Structure 1
């Protein structure tokens, strides 16, 4: 039987329509794993800098599923290839954690406390990407990880 993970993506900010949103929808439709997108905002729009990141972190924490493995997307994180990312997700499931929450911070990034709390801090590269593009990239990588773990030929080395 194939591995089953429940995936939650918690992102700061609201999605707009457009090609990036269409890509996210396309990959989510392909997923066999249950997927939930949760969007959060800081409660106080007047905050800036570290105070804003702390407020966003609190909003993110409030939406994290209990007991889920936490993957923080951050440019300072580990650089994994697709097989490494799939292995990390598979490792969570094999250790009994069948739910994974991935988090995308706001424009100023993630609060350090969320990075410290994470089971995996993952970089999609050293470049900075727009948040909507990050959603599309991570949705595709989640789908790719599922196909790798299922032995499906979508991924080619």
Structure 2
């Protein structure tokens, strides 16, 4: 199973990027024993369209292009489902048990996701009721992927 964080926008060098890389590295290492072959980030250019709807459509098209055929798509959306860390871990484990080979987590641009991507999503996920900068959302998501793997492996990182 592979996890891809497909993100609109580029993360600049600095403390946030370092923290993101730390969680991605931890997830890769922990995931090996669980059948996770990669955890990666794909960064896409922000749309330059003038209208928000056009930007969302262009960015949704770019995000969809990162999705392999039968991949599960998780869109980060403020109106999405709030899952506990154990529930999130269980969702990923269930997909793995079903033979899902790829999960793509889509983090859209400032205007949100286009209708095409929302319609194709297998899960709409919220990282809580607050609004987070997209760079921090990447870090939170990478940490939760790592946490999910520690839950699955019985590692004491997650303490309920």
What TM-score comes out, normalization by structure 1 length? 0.92
Runs of 4+ in 1 over 4 A off after TM superposition: none
Number of equivalent positions: 152
**Deviation (angstroms), 1:113:** 2.2
- Are residues 1:8 and 2:4 paired? yes
1:29-48 → structure 2 map (5 Å cutoff): 29-31=25-27, 32=31, 33=36, 34-42=38-46, 45-48=48-51
Structure 2 portions without partners, runs of 5+: none
Report if aligned partners of 2:23, 2:142 keep a CA contact under 8 Å in 1.
yes
Q: Deviations over 1:98-133 (max 9, x none)?
A: 221100000111113212211110000111100100
Report if aligned partners of 2:82, 2:125 keep a CA contact under 8 Å in 1.
yes
**Deviation (angstroms), 1:66:** 2.4
- Are residues 1:136 and 2:139 paired? yes
Structure 1 portions without partners, runs of 5+: none
- Are residues 1:91 and 2:94 paired? yes
Q: Which residue of 1 aligns with 2:105?
A: 102
- Partner SS, residue 63 of structure 1: coil
**Deviation (angstroms), 1:152:** 1.2
Q: Which residue of 1 aligns with 2:16?
A: 20
Could you tell me how far apart the structure 2 residues matched to 1:128 and 1:28 are?
22
Measured on the aligned residues, the alpha-carbon RMSD in Å equals 1.2
What TM-score comes out, normalization by structure 2 length? 0.90
- Partner SS, residue 121 of structure 1: strand
